[in-house]
């Protein structure tokens, strides 16, 4: 593969921390572009002295959906400007862009969902991701920026923010009672290490100048499935209550078609949901000790 230098925005985040460790262990150079490094990616002036790199992985983004309704101006401007500035860095360095998008398919027209499925901006967060995907496409079309757009389904793993479903259940678990809206929605969950493994295969890929990949497990689990799996790994009594409230615009089921990632990059997830949840449970038991 040769010596590559990879810039990572959002390097101190949930995915970024795990990714930068793996890049370093692959003996590639890594440049961390993050607020914790004193770099505000939305301020182009702060990016004037970034060292040269071959590939940029753009993880930095605001992702908490309720915040996208409460403060849309900051949400949209942050996600768009950071992506624009990341693309400018790629243009100046003649570097490849790996843009981490999200689930952007809205209410599925068919399952499993492949990369050709129509996209739908079903909330402001997904809308901002689609805007940024289009910006990446423009920089590829007009400036020749080699681009991979990654659409992860529901990533999970130890030490994830409590804003997300699994950590929010685990937080309640410690209090002895879990209260949730609806047991039925089903999601495709991808374990953190498998998502990072995909990105490590995407970094050296050079056979195409523009690609979009789904990253999921190809299996899905309901909210109730997750709760039952967690309780199997927890030895204290817990009450579980469902309000039977369906969120506005709720998507009832997602399931990723991951054949493209398998066929082109030779990637498949290695971690079953049961195994991944065991690792998450082990991490919170360590915190309890």
Tokens in use for 46? 């702060």
CA distances from 165 to 21, 65, 223, 269 (A): 25, 12, 9, 21
How buried is 48 (Cβ within 10 angstroms: 0-12 exposed, 13-18 middle, 19+ buried)? Answer: exposed
* CA-wise closest residue to 205 among 264, 286, 134: 264
| DSSP per residue, 167-200 | HHHHHHHTTTEEEES-S--EE-EEEHHHHHHHHH
All structural domains of the chain: 5-158+190-218+255-270 (3.40.50.720)
In this structure, the dihedral spanned by the alpha carbons of residues 242, 243, 247 and 253, taken in order and rounded to 10 degrees, is: 30
pTM higher than 0.85:
yes
pLDDT of the chain, 289 residues: tens digit per residue = 458 999 999 999 999 999 999 999 999 999 999 999 999 999 999 999 999 999 999 999 998 888 899 999 999 999 999 999 999 999 999 999 999 999 999 999 999 999 999 999 999 999 999 999 999 999 999 999 999 999 999 999 999 999 899 999 999 998 999 999 999 999 999 999 999 999 999 999 999 999 999 999 999 999 999 999 999 989 899 999 999 999 888 999 999 999 999 999 999 999 999 999 999 999 887 666 5
């Amino acid at each position: 593969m040769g010596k590559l230098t990879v810039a990572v925005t959002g390097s101190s985040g949930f995915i970024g921390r795990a990714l930068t460790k793996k890049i370093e262990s692959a003996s590639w150079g890594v440049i961390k572009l993050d607020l914790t490094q004193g770099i505000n990616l939305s301020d182009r002036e702060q990016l004037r002295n970034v060292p040269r790199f071959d590939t940029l992985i753009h993880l930095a983004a605001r992702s908490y959906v309720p915040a996208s309704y409460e403060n849309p101006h900051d949400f949209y401007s942050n996600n768009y400007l950071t992506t624009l500035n990341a693309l400018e860095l790629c243009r100046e360095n003649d570097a490849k862009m790996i843009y981490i998008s999200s689930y952007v398919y809205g209410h599925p027209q068919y399952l499993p969902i492949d990369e050709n499925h129509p996209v739908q901006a079903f909330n402001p967060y997904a809308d901002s991701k689609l805007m940024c995907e289009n910006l990446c496409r423009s920089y590829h079309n007009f400036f020749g920026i080699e681009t991979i757009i990654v659409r992860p389904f529901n990533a999970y793993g130890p030490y994830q923010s409590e804003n997300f479903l699994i950590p929010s259940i685990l937080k309640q678990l410690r209090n002895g009672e879990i209260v949730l809206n609806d047991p039925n929605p089903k999601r495709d969950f991808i374990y953190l290490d498998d998502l990072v493994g995909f990105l490590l295969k995407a970094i050296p890929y050079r056979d195409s100048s523009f690609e979009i990949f789904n990253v999921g497990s190809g299996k899905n689990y309901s909210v109730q499935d997750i709760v039952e799996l967690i309780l199997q790994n927890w030895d204290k009594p817990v009450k579980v209550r469902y309000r039977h409230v369906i969120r506005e615009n709720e998507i009832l089921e997602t399931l990723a078609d991951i054949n493209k990632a398998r066929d082109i990059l030779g990637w498949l997830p290695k971690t079953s949901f049961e195994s991944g949840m065991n690792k998450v449970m082990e991490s919170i038991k360590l915190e309890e000790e």
